[in-house]
Structure 1
Amino acid sequence: MTTWPAYLLTVCWPGAGHLYARQWRRGCCWAALCGAALVFLSPGSLLAAGPLVEPLVLSILRLETVAFADVAFPLAVLALSAIDLYSLAVLEEV
């Protein structure tokens, strides 16, 4: 598996890198978890700020008045998704 495109996709959209790596169930679970974090755990400033197809990192960087508490849970899901993809790639190589 070529891992760099998968890592880039995961940083832009959680779960997309897993889908690229043909880990369908994990990819869908990470995407659903990020969606749930955006809807239920953030106050909505991220959802109201831009379109849903825009990467989460770009939405956060574009907002000037966003508090860390608004983006903590979605960023945690994004980071854990990237760590999960990295650990899967390392385990595949061994």
Structure 2
Amino acid sequence: FCDHINRCDVAIEQTNHTHHKGNPYRCRIDVTVARGHELVADERQMDNGTHQPLNKVIHDAFKTMERELRRVVDKQRRDVKTHANTRSPK
């Protein structure tokens, strides 16, 4: 759905919090597409002692990036919805 990705960086980090709450992970995805669009998806485990699995954090980050890429592609293709009653000025 997006064939003009110029760059994609993925970082999975363990945040430096105190060990009694565990060290939650974060997944950050940086994507650059043609025409200078830079997109970022940044998902983190909740820091409440009941961390979601790391694979869910990674999955959520990629789903967020997919939504952002689709939004940019739709905008570039001019597929953004318009109202049916909109008329061009004469």
Shorter-chain TM range is 0.3 to 0.5
Normalised TM-score (structure 2): 0.42
Question: Whose strand proportion is higher, 1 or 2?
Answer: 2
Normalised TM-score (structure 1): 0.41
Question: Whose helix proportion is higher, 1 or 2?
Answer: 1
Work out which of the two has the higher radius of gyration on C-alpha atoms and give 1 or 2.
2
Q: Which has the higher contact order (CA 8 A, sep 6+)?
A: 1
